Every structure is written in C-alpha cells, then in structure tokens.
Amino acid sequence: MSRSLILEQLKNNSTLSELLQSLAGQSLDMRVHPYCAPYLDHEVAGYVDGPPSSRVVAVISAAEPNGQSWRRFTLSRTGEGTYEMGVFPTAFHNANAPLAPGIPPSTSRHQG
C-alpha cells in the first residue's frame, strides 16, 4: 500500500524537499540519509519504480536548481512504514536522458 502511495506522490518539477513533505503528510516516516541533505533543492525530472521484491521503491532523477546536471536518488523501505531517501552524489550531464546512466528510460513503467 505504501509503495503505491509513494509512487503516486512523485511529480516532475517538484523539489525533493516538497516530495518529502508530501510523503510525511501521508503519515509515512520519511528519513533523509546525511549524504542526501545538501541536494533537497533538486527538482524531480523522472523516475522508475524498483522491483516489487526490492526494498528500493523508486529511483529518481533530479536536476540541480540551475538545470545543468542531474543526480540519482533512491527512496527505500528501511522498516515497517519507514523510508529513507538516499543519493548517488556523482552528477551527470545528459539532458536527453535524465535517468541515464544505468537506467534506460524506455524500460520504465513509471517514467516522469
């Protein structure tokens, strides 16, 4: 149930901070990994859902405020009703495929 609720809240052009506030408003215990905290001003550019058997609910691509590069983030289940946002902090610069590298956009069922 929480998995679908999280996927429903993902909206392009909203900041990660806004996403976290939206999820917290749904009574989910949302946590932010310390490495992720400096990037909460990034805007969602797209996402893919994780496999149902995985603790990763979604992998998110989000753009820096200046729109020059993107980073990938994860929303993962860490316990009953508890979720954490993490980050792959290395920036990448591909405006044509903001979920690249590593996630072909054509494979997503929930592409932003």
* Mean pLDDT, all residues of the chain: 83
Q: Is residue 96 part of a domain?
A: yes
Q: Per the structure, how many domains does the chain have?
A: 1
| Lowest-confidence pick of 18-22, 25-29, 55-59 | 25-29
Q: Is residue 55 part of a domain?
A: yes
Instruction: Tell which phi-psi region holds residue 27, choosing left (phi > 0), alpha (psi between -120 and 50) or beta.
Output: left
Residue 103 to residue 107: CA distance in whole angstroms: 8
Q: Is residue 112 part of a domain?
A: no
pLDDT digits (tens, 9 = 90+) for 60-107: 989 999 888 889 999 999 998 899 999 988 888 766 665 655 544 444
pTM for the whole thing?
0.81
Q: Is residue 26 part of a domain?
A: yes
For residues 46 and 98, the answer to whether their CB atoms sit within 8 Å is yes
Q: Is residue 71 part of a domain?
A: yes
| pLDDT at residue number 110 | 46
Expressed as residue numbers, the domain containing 7 is 2-107
